[in-house]
Amino acid sequence: MKLDVDVLRYLTKDDFRVLTAVEMGMRNHEIVPSELIGRIASLKHGGTYKVLKNLLKHKLVHHDSSKYDGFRLTYLGYDFLAIKTMVNRGVFTAVGRQIGVGKESDIFEVASEDGTVMAMKLHRLGRTSFRAVKSKRDYLRHRSSYNWLYLSRLAALKEFAFMKALEEHGFPVPNAVDSNRHCVVMSLIQGYPLVQVKQLQNPETVFETIIGLVVRLAEHGLIHCDFNEFNIMIDDDEKVTMIDFPQMVSVSHRNAQMYFDRDIECIYKFFGKRFNLSFEERSDDIDNSDVDPDESSRPSFSSIAKTSGFLDKELAASGFTRKDEDEIQKFIEGDVEEDDVSHSEHDSELYQTNIKGFDSLHLDQEEPTASCNEEDQLDENLQSSEADQSGDPEGQNSNNEEEDDEQKGEEDDTELVKSLAKQRRRAMAAARKGHKNTASRNSYKDKGGKSSNNSKIQKQLSSW
């Protein structure tokens, strides 16, 4: 849908109030009832239906009367709400031309009051070319219901958070300015997508820089997952800037190695086809065991050590579980050993009742190295534990007691099965006594002595 901001000039406060009411109603409704919109908007002089009719004319809402009379927001109406909020905040004052179209977003130029040109990215998940978001992305997590506007909002929030954090850690990314709903405002990169570049003065240097970014991201605990020529910007000085971060995952993700290898393979393929770079020497260096792998060798996921930071923990990247977060927190605080001791004490308390049954096993392992005093103490403990289990004050061999316990266990099992069978038979008998026979309940009794077709059929059945 084309973004026509000229309509934005003629929308009144009541129009935006009703648009906001529809947005609030969509939290719990796929189609918001008209009565609910009127109650949420609470216009002073009424006229909610008239405002909805005006919004419907400009395609800011969609009307649906299949089940009941209601409305829902369109992407254009969601755009207007986000743009109006940004204008009220003073982030920008003008919207310019469209500079990019992706499978899940549209990018426009915007200008601030002082004339600074920035980029505005509007996420538009749910297009025909990209509808498998629920299975491919983790925006929903544990949620079962969703709509495309909500998913777009989650994608924008995630991208803004990643962009802000990567910028703080010195990565070449755009400057994140502000975010609202499904809209992200960032600095405009003065460059071109790498897919549009036909020649480079130093293709090998650019290649090494891009591969270094992938490795550096992994060292910080993140994987881009879509690191290709479409998401890499390069300027006239061959300075590289990476964009598009909603799909980033943690190195603890179950498919992290696959995503990492795919990003590396995309860069190798593109530079090999576009700039005719040969990577035979790199593969020879990997195969040769005498030569240590250096920067020219293809990086592997297993050889990367996550020592530069824990961005996946800070940003809660997908694949990073609460268990991983607890372990890293213990590692940072240096309480790993104390925690292990507390866990062992806790386990000993939990399984204290089961330790007596394994005393003989531990004694057999410790007898050759134990002293005479220790042997006497262990024998006394053995006798006391055997007395508790068998009830016999006189000590017997542990093997005989184990056989007796097994026999007793088998006898108890047979008695339990017999008692259950008796209870089942009694229950069946009680159920049969409590209910009448179905044949007597459903049979037809001929009253009055007159013959009928039903009585004849019943007599024939009884004679058979």
In 102-205, the DSSP E strands lie at 105-111, 117-123, 176-180, 183-187, 192-193
Phi, psi values for residue 289, rounded to 5°: -75, -25
Q: Which residue has the tokens 């005989």?
A: 400
Per DSSP, the three-state class of 205 is helix
- 266 three-class SS: helix
Please indicate whether residue 226 is annotated as part of the active site: yes
Long-range contacts, 202-210 (Cβ 8 Å, 24+): 202/238, 203/271, 203/275, 203/277, 204/277, 205/238, 206/234, 206/238, 206/240, 207/267, 207/271, 207/275, 207/277, 208/295, 209/240, 210/240, 210/267
Per the listing, tokens 């006394």 go with 380
- Tell me the β-bridge partners of 108: 98, 120
Cα–Cα distance for residue pair 374/416, rounded to 1 Å: 42
Residue 392: exposure state from Cβ atoms within 10 A (0-12, 13-18, ≥19): exposed
CA angle, residues 191, 197, 201, in degrees to nearest 5: 95
User: Hey, what are 34's tokens?
Assistant: 């008209």
| Other Cβ atoms within 10 Å of 60 Cβ, number | 26
Determine which one of 15, 79, 226, 263 is catalytic. 226
Q: DSSP assignment, residue 293?
A: P
Q: What is the set of active-site residues?
A: 226
